[in-house]
Amino acid sequence: MTTANAIFALGTLISWVGWIMGATALFTIFKLTFDNVGLDSKRNMRSLMISGLIAGLSLLATAILPMHAATKDATGFRVPLVWFVMPYSAWLGVYCLFMGAYRSVQAFLGIDKDDRIERMKSCGIWLLVTVAFVWLYRGDPANKITILTGGLWLVPQTMFAIVFLAAAGMAAMVIAGRSTKTRGYAKTIVTQAALLAGSVVFGLPFAFLVITSFKEDKDMSSPNGIVWIPKVQQTVPYFDKKKPLYEGQFQGETVQGTPIETNPDGSIKIDIIKPMAIRGTTFVAAKAALKEVPRDIPIVSGKTNGIEFEGKVIEEMDDGHRRVAFLKPASLAGKEQVFAPAEVENVRHVGLRFQNYTDAIQFLPPETHSGLVYLKNTLILVVMSVLGTILSSSIVAYAFSRMRFPGREAMFAVLLSTMMLPAAVTLLPQFLIFRTLGWIDTLYPLWVPAFFASAFNVFLLRQFFKGIPMELEDAAKIDGCTYLKTFWSVMLPQIKPALAVIAVWTFMGAWNNFMGPLIYVNSPENMPLSYALQLFQGDRTNEPGLLMAFATLCIVPVLAVFFFAQRYFIEGVTLSGLGGR
């Protein structure tokens, strides 16, 4: 066993050399692709060759070594790897220790005294940090380091395929490197491929969202992974003689339902099936007011007496059995038979289940008019917030940047300092203030504060106002404009791009606002979309199709705005990120 272990250890070492060399080779490939290295390229090419060769050889060596003697399973090649499983604090400690050692070596090799001192200092700091992390690590008794030996199992075919692919890739790179023109193409291809791969990764959750919103319940969970191609049940229209489906008017809505009983006067009591929100409600209507409509019944397939058939389910029984009227083959057509649930299978074809969307909307409380009220509330919130922010912030910023008045500097300093104030501090008292005003369960607490200018926007707009030449304003004053007029007609148009950016931010903030509605809004008719979606999620945890449909409906308007105002969104990020400058 000792020999086997020795071979295992050797193999581990060689495999690590192999991996590292492989990584070097890959790195060199990237370097050759992306950098204008020119003079260096020969050297790089050589290093690529060498590292690639070593990588291939050592990986091959580990694959050939009889390493499996030390392990249980012997199918394929096992490329051994050692995993250190430890907490982040330990990893950081190791990293800092390494950096400390690295700096001390550097200090030893330093050119002059200053250099050495500088590096010793840095070494000291790294070691101090190491101590801190070790302390952190030791602080939690649950922390432990586990060393796991594991491995990559490769069958010979995959192994060789990898080697060949690597060789082919290198060769392609060499050829590509020969001529600058083809190299340009190679670069483009690599870049585009990487970007496409990235787009797929970033797009997958979106695709998942949209596709799930069109799936039937039975496709939500599948042992073979995610179902990407939605299928829908195939149906045929059918007039049921025993249990007809009627369409009629109930409280101004068109409803469908089945009759429960016929009264002596000929009127019929109807049990509503559609729309979902009032399903199960009954009402009485005159026969004349009702229209019989076909119901969509599912098509199933199965086998009876060894004959494969297709048929429509004309009755779903209480115990799960289904009465099927045969459609195909012709020899059976017109006959009926009862099957147990397991004997027949639903016939489904590739398609989208739009019913998820209609169902989702029908499940919303009736007072929200199919969710339109949510949209209205969100729009009120967005429009008022944007309007308020732009008007108030710009006029305040104008005063701070272009007008002189006593206390300006002091007030501006105070304004700047409020930028740091977290909303959490004022959360509760503001709630109490709005309660005194009787504004709980209204939208006012969510948009009225926008009219009082936010510090950050004022700060930003002030910078923009400062960039406008004085001459413009002076000209306006000479023409006899009042301050308000100057501001409105001369200055404001000058900062339109900045205003657009602020508008876009405020739009996003208002559309996303969740904690506000969570605290202030209680009844459905005052709810904005964000909070409605969260409540919807709570009620529909077992119906992902409906949930995803509603989520899609909430996202689409934002994406639409984004496509039209893309430029401002992107400028906005840039401004916010550099705001600290």
Partner 1 sequence: MKSPRIALALVSALFLLPAFSAAQAQKKRDLVVWGVSLGPETKGTEAIIRKFARRHPDINVRVLSMGAGTMNPQKLMTSIVGNVAPDVIAQDRFSVSDWASRGAFQPLDDLIARDSGKDPLCPRKEQYYPEVWKEASYGGKVYGIPTGADNRILYYNKAIFREKADLLRAAGLDPDRAPRTWSELLKYGKVLTEVDKNTGQFKSVGFLPNFGNAWLYMYAFQNNAVFMGDRDGISGRVCTMDTPEAEQALKFIVDGYDQIGGYEKCKEFESGFLSNENDPFVLGKVAMKIDGDWILNALSRYGPALEIGVAPPPIPDDRYNHTGRFANEKETYVTWVGGFCYAVPRGARNMQDGWEYIKFATSTEGRMIENTAQKKWEQLRGRAFIPRQQGSMEANEALFKAFKPADPKFAAALRQHIDLMPHGKIRPVTFVGQTLWDNHVKAMESACYHKLSPKEALLAAQNVVQRDLDAYFNKANYPIINLSIPLYVGLGIGFIVLATLVVLFLRHRMGNLERTEAWWAYLFVSPWLIGFLLLVIGPMVASLFFSFTQYDVLNEARWVGFKNYQDLGGADWNNVSKGLGNAVFLAALTVPMSLAVGLAIALLLNQATKGMRFYRTFFYMPAIVPGVASAVLWTWVLTPDPNKGLLNAAWLKIVTPLLGLNPPGWVQSADWSKNALVVMSMWAAGSGMILWLAGLKGISSTLYEAASIDGANPRQTFWSITFPQLSPIIFFNAVMGFIGAMQEFDRIYIMKPSSDGPVGPDDSLLTPVYLLFNNGFAYFKMGYSSAIAWLIFGIILVLTFTQFKLAPRWVHYESDK
d(CA 507, CA 381): 9
Establish if 185 lies at the interface with partner 1 (CB under 8 A): no
Q: Restricting to residues 441-460, name those near partner 1 by CB under 8 A.
A: 441, 449, 451-453, 458
d(CA 422, CA 424): 5
Smallest distance from partner 1 to CB 505, Å? 11
d(CA 320, CA 313): 12
Establish if 137 lies at the interface with partner 1 (CB under 8 A): no
d(CA 483, CA 491): 10
Between 290 and 548, name the residue whose CB sits nearer to partner 1.
Answer: 548
Radius of gyration of the chain (CA): 36
Between 357 and 400, name the residue whose CB sits nearer to partner 1.
Answer: 400
Of the candidate residues 42, 43, 121, 435, the single one contacting partner 1 (CB under 8 A): 435
Q: Give the number of residues in contact with partner 1, rule: CB under 8 A.
A: 141
Smallest distance from partner 1 to CB 2, Å? 25
Q: Restricting to residues 363-402, name those near partner 1 by CB under 8 A.
A: 363, 365, 367, 376, 379-380, 383-384, 386-387, 392, 395-396, 398-400
- Kindly report the number of other CB atoms within 10 A of residue 509's CB atom: 17
Smallest distance from partner 1 to CB 511, Å? 6
Owner of token pair 């970007």: 195
Establish if 542 lies at the interface with partner 1 (CB under 8 A): yes
Q: 558-561 long-range contacts, Cβ below 8 Å, gap at least 24?
A: 558/508, 558/511, 561/507
d(CA 92, CA 72): 34
CA proximity to 458, closest of 381, 383, 401, 514: 401
Give a three-class secondary structure readout of 490-552: HHHHHCHHHHHHHHHHHHHHHHHCCHHHHHHCCCHHHCCHHHHHHHHHHHCCCCHHHHHHHHH
Smallest distance from partner 1 to CB 74, Å? 13
Of the candidate residues 319, 330, 470, 564, the single one contacting partner 1 (CB under 8 A): 319
d(CA 165, CA 159): 10
Q: Restricting to residues 81-110, name those near partner 1 by CB under 8 A.
A: 88
Between 14 and 384, name the residue whose CB sits nearer to partner 1.
Answer: 384
Establish if 188 lies at the interface with partner 1 (CB under 8 A): yes
Establish if 268 lies at the interface with partner 1 (CB under 8 A): no
Q: Restricting to residues 343-362, name those near partner 1 by CB under 8 A.
A: none
Q: Which stretch binds partner 1 (CB under 8 A): 7-15, 102-110, 205-213, 245-253?
A: 205-213
Q: Which stretch binds partner 1 (CB under 8 A): 95-103, 121-129, 316-324, 462-470?
A: 316-324
What angle, rounded to 10 degrees, do the helices at 372-402 and 455-466 form?
50
Establish if 407 lies at the interface with partner 1 (CB under 8 A): yes
Establish if 77 lies at the interface with partner 1 (CB under 8 A): no
Establish if 511 lies at the interface with partner 1 (CB under 8 A): yes
Q: Restricting to residues 29-68, name those near partner 1 by CB under 8 A.
A: 31, 34-35, 37
d(CA 507, CA 397): 20
Establish if 487 lies at the interface with partner 1 (CB under 8 A): yes
CA proximity to 234, closest of 346, 402, 368, 108: 346
Establish if 495 lies at the interface with partner 1 (CB under 8 A): no
